[in-house]
Amino acid sequence: MSVTGVAALIAAVSFAVLACAGVYLAVRLTRVLGEATALVRETRNGQQEVLTRASAAVDRANAHLDRTDAVAASMDELGAGVSELAGQVSALASLGRSLAAGPVGRAASVAYGVRHAVALRRDPNRAPHRRAVVRGVSGGSSPLEQAGRALPGEVVNR
């Protein structure tokens, strides 16, 4: 065997080793691609399940938002009703003030005073209404306190 024969033999063996390595890598790559395909298939199935659940969650959230919108609309209606009621109460209060401060209120005051005076004339023993006043501890100016008959802090009728 000559040098060229040995070189050709080494080249042939090297080529055979490289061919075997290429076949081995091709087989391994085929297995990896098969497993990747199976993984993608499983992931798609899982994705469909997750997307279905997410869609159901979004539908529930939309239903809650619709109910919230209805509640907010009713609160707006309630606010409008309350503001209308406040306006009516204010108008009624101003009517009451105008009646009490106007001629009707003055006539009612005069009628009460006349009735009270007539009641006092009919029954002279009837005493006028008395108020109870509590004098402070710092000293008072009531005649009873000045005379020493009432202690500071006692109830004194006026």
133 forms beta bridges with 156
CB-based contact 152:140 (threshold 8 Å): yes
144 in any annotated domain: no
| 145 token code pair | 């306190």
> At a CB cut-off of 8 Å and minimum separation 6, what does 153 contact?
134, 135, 136, 137
| Domain, as residue range, for 66 | 3-135
pLDDT digits (tens, 9 = 90+) for 32-79: 999 999 998 888 888 888 888 999 999 999 999 999 988 888 898 899
47 in any annotated domain: yes
DSSP 95-149: HHHHHHHSHHHHHHHHHHHHHHHHHHHH-TTPPPP--EEEPPTT----HHHHHTS
pLDDT digits (tens, 9 = 90+) for 95-134: 888 877 888 788 888 899 999 888 888 886 766 555 555 5
Look up residue 153 and give its DSSP letter: T
Classify residue 7 as exposed, middle or buried by CB count within 10 Å of its CB (0-12, 13-18, 19+). exposed
130 in any annotated domain: yes
Total of domains in the chain = 1
Is the alpha carbon torsion for 51, 55, 57, 58 positive or negative?
A: positive
96 in any annotated domain: yes
17 in any annotated domain: yes
Q: Please, what is the average pLDDT of the chain?
A: 82
140 in any annotated domain: no
132 forms beta bridges with 157
152 in any annotated domain: no
How far is C-alpha 134 from the chain's CA centre? 47
